[in-house]
Amino acid sequence: MALSRRFLILAEGSFGPLSSKTANACIRYVPDEVAAVLDSAAAGRTAQEVLGFGGTIPVVADFSSGMMHRPNALLIGIAPAGGQFPDAWRSIVSEALRAGLDVWSGLHTMLGDDPEFAALAAAAGATIRDLRRAPAGLEVAAGRIRDIDATIVLTVGTDCNIGKMTAQLQVQSSVRQLGHRVNFAATGQTGILVEGRGIAVDAVIADFIAGAAESLTIEAAEGADIVLVEGQGSLIHPAYSGVTLGLMHGALPHAMVLCAQPSRTTIHRNPWVPIPSLSEMIRLYEAAMEPLRSSPVIAIALNTFDLDDREARKAIERVRAETGLPATDPVRYEPLVIAEAIAAIHVDRLAERAV
C-alpha cells in the first residue's frame, strides 16, 4: 500500500473514543497520513481534544473544509455493529470520488460494488479500496501452523471492542526492543489499514475463517521469531463468538494475552450477558484451545481509558492479585511486562526444541 496516503477521515456525528474505532487507530498509529477528520459535531477541535491523542489534527465541519487540508483519500472512520454503510454519507462519498479522492472503507458493505460509486470512481480515475473484501481461493484450516517455527501469540478478550488490536500494536515495539523479530498479523479492517496487509476474518464465509487465520499467520511468520495475531470478538459474545473460535483454531497460538476493561461488567450492547471473572475467562479460553494445542494465557492487557490514574493502577493491581499474571494498560503505561511474558514463552520454546 502506498506510503503517500493523506486521509480525510469521515466520522460524521461519531468521532469519539469508542465510536470511531477505525479513525482512532489511524490517528494513533499513522498520524502523518491523516489530513483532517470530518465531524460537524466536533468541528473546530483537534484530535487531541476529542481523543486524548492525535495532536493538532483538525476536525472540520464539512467536505469542502476538509479539502483545504489537501487529502488524497477519504477514509470511512467508523466500524459500526454489522458494518453497514450509513446512507446519510452517500453524498459525501460521491463528492469525494468526483474530486478524485480514493475511498478506503472497512465496512461489510462493499462500496466498490455500488454502481453509482463505481461509475464515479471510474470517471475520476479514483480507486475504492474495500478492506474487508475477502481474498479468493481461501482453504479450510488443516493445522499447517504446526510446521512453522515462529511463536504465535493471540490476543483474546472478555468482550468485543476492548483493545485486542491496540494491545498487540503497543506491545510489538517492546518485543522488538527485547531482540526478537516480530510481525503483526492483522485480522480486521483497521489492523489491515495500519499494517498494510491481512485478512478481515469476520467477512470470510464461516467454513473458511480458520483457514484464513491459518494463512495470514503463516504469511506473517516469514522472517519472524514471534507473530502477534490480532484477536476478534469474544468466546462469550452472543454475536461474534464464531469468529473468535475460528481465529483461535486457525492461528493455533502458543500463548494468549487476555484483554479486558475493568469498568465493563456486561457484554457491549448486550446487558443481559454478564462478563465472568478474569479467572473464569482464562479457564474458558484455555479449555477451548486445549484439544488442538496447549495455549496458556500469559498476561492481561487492560483498557482503563475511562478511569483516572489512581483507579487504573488499583485495577491493575487487583488483576495481578486475582490471576497471578503480569498485567498493565499497554497504552497508558509501559507495555514491557506483557512483552517480557511473550519473549519468555518464545525462549522456553527454543529451549524445548534444543533438547
Helix 309-323 / helix 278-289 crossing angle, nearest 10 deg: 50
Residue 1 pLDDT: 43
- Cite the beta strand spans of 22-121 per DSSP E: 34-38, 59-60, 73-76, 102-105
Average pLDDT over residues 81-96: 89
Residues in the chain: 355
Residue with grid cell 479467572, as numbered in its chain:
279
* Contact yes or no for 254/152 (Cβ under 8 A): yes
* Contact yes or no for 346/225 (Cβ under 8 A): yes
* Contact yes or no for 237/160 (Cβ under 8 A): yes
Instruction: Give the tens place of pLDDT for each residue, 213-255.
Output: 999 999 999 999 999 999 999 999 999 999 999 999 999 999 9
Which cell numbers hold the place of 128? 475504492
- Residue 25, CB half-sphere, CA atoms under 13 Å: how many? 27
- Cite the beta strand spans of the chain per DSSP E: 7-10, 34-38, 59-60, 73-76, 102-105, 128-130, 151-157, 182-185, 226-229, 255-260, 266-267, 270-274, 297-302, 327-328
Which cell numbers hold the place of 28? 494513533
String of DSSP letters for 207-275: GGHHHHHHHHHHHHTTT-SEEEEPP-S-TT-TTTHHHHHHHHHHH--SEEEEEE-TT--EETTEEEEE-
* Contact yes or no for 257/155 (Cβ under 8 A): yes
Give me the phi and psi of 282, to 5 degrees please. Answer: -60, -45
Give me the phi and psi of 177, to 5 degrees please. Answer: -65, -25
Distances (CA, A) of 167 to 173, 190, 329, 338: 11, 13, 8, 9
Gap between the Cα atoms of 201 and 171, Å rounded: 22
Residue 101 pLDDT: 98
Distance from first CA to last CA of the chain, Å, rounded?
42
* Contact yes or no for 267/307 (Cβ under 8 A): no
Residue 126 pLDDT: 97
Which cell numbers hold the place of 179? 531482540
- Inform me whether the pLDDT recorded for 3 exceeds 70: no
Q: Does domain 7-130 have CATH number 3.40.50.720?
A: yes
Instruction: Give the tens place of pLDDT for each residue, 102-152.
Output: 999 999 999 999 999 999 999 999 999 999 999 999 999 999 999 999 999
Domain with CATH 3.40.50.300 in the chain: 144-354
Residue 81 pLDDT: 67
Between 121 and 18, name the one with better pLDDT: 121
- Inform me whether the pLDDT recorded for 65 exceeds 80: yes
Residue with grid cell 461488567, as numbered in its chain:
265
Residue 2 pLDDT: 44
Domain with CATH 3.40.50.720 in the chain: 7-130
* Contact yes or no for 229/217 (Cβ under 8 A): yes
Residue 355 pLDDT: 73
Average pLDDT over residues 196-223: 97
Helix 21-29 / helix 164-177 crossing angle, nearest 10 deg: 20
Q: Does domain 144-354 have CATH number 3.40.50.300?
A: yes
Gap between the Cα atoms of 222 and 227, Å rounded: 9
Residue 249 pLDDT: 98
Instruction: Give the tens place of pLDDT for each residue, 278-328.
Output: 999 999 999 999 999 999 999 999 999 999 999 999 999 999 999 999 999
What's the mean pLDDT when you consider all of the chain?
A: 96
Element at 176 (helix H, strand E): helix 164-177
Structure letter (DSSP) for residue 58: B
Residue 18 pLDDT: 82
Gap between the Cα atoms of 108 and 131, Å rounded: 9
Average pLDDT over residues 323-339: 98
